[in-house]
Amino acid sequence: MTPEQHLTAYILRLGDNALVLGQRMLELVAAYPELEEELANANFALDYIGQARMFYSYAGELEGAGRSEDDFAYFRPEHEFKNLLLVEQPNGHFGDTIVRQVLFDVYYLGLLEALTRCSDQRLAEIAARAEKEVRYHLRHSAQWLVRLGDGTEESHRKAQRSLDGLWRFTGEMFAADALDEAVLASFGGPNLADIAADWQKDISTIVDEATLSIPQETHMASGGKQGMHTEHFGYLVAEMQSLPRTYPGATW
């Protein structure tokens, strides 16, 4: 693969993370018990979808094969999505959703910050725009984790269980594969070892403030970055793609 092909695949992966997390959050639309949180969730979900569109559009241009953002989102099979396992995990209860968001947002914010300094100007610009959105998402999710962890006995117990349950999907974020290394070498991309160190520090701070405990060392699940997903993912893809696949080219 040429450096440009590496970059294209890398940007597609960024788009996959944003799209899949956005799709998960969109499942919660009209399900929130409070109007203001309902709006916040829908806003954030659409921020992620918007980021996916920017990544996919750029990847399509780099690839030069005429594929559009819709082709990437709606007409690829499950195993061609290279998103992290963490972002495809079901919403569960509110604590599960919030823990998933915090674990991802801290990682993603670090990644985007690093990408603003990469040598590919367009990618750096997309990252700079996304970074502002994600900084606010993290403010929101982290505050909620603190409220839940440092809330009632029940919310504390549930939040700790959510953290314990999702922890095994965090290792994959920092396991650099050939693509991560190629983009680091050719384009000054993110160094995942640095991002892991910052993530550990920031997550510890939030978890401490939430009076929760960092889970014990555990077996880390992986495979998402190679297109091997958890059992939940097929349903998400099927629902997300059902309309464009049933009515190709539909507009309204």
Partner 1 sequence: MSEQVWPLYEVFIRTRGGLSHRHAGSVHAADDQMALDHARDTYTRRSEGVSLWVVRSDRIVASDPAETAAFFEPAEDKIYRHPTFYDIPDGVENL
Query: Can you give the binding site for partner 1, defined by CB under 8 A?
Result: 33-37, 39-40, 43, 136, 139-140, 143, 147
Q: Are 99 and 163 in contact (CB under 8 A)?
A: yes
Q: Are 147 and 206 in contact (CB under 8 A)?
A: no
- Cβ nearer to partner 1, comparing 88 with 96: 96
Taking the complex as a whole, how short is the minimal distance between the CB of residue 136 and partner 1, in angstroms?
8
Taking the complex as a whole, how short is the minimal distance between the CB of residue 142 and partner 1, in angstroms?
11
- Cβ nearer to partner 1, comparing 32 with 74: 32
- Cβ nearer to partner 1, comparing 50 with 215: 50
- Cβ nearer to partner 1, comparing 49 with 176: 49
Taking the complex as a whole, how short is the minimal distance between the CB of residue 40 and partner 1, in angstroms?
4
- Cβ nearer to partner 1, comparing 33 with 64: 33
Taking the complex as a whole, how short is the minimal distance between the CB of residue 43 and partner 1, in angstroms?
6
Taking the complex as a whole, how short is the minimal distance between the CB of residue 75 and partner 1, in angstroms?
31
Which residues touch 206 (CB under 8 Å, ≥6 apart)? 102, 106, 142, 145, 146
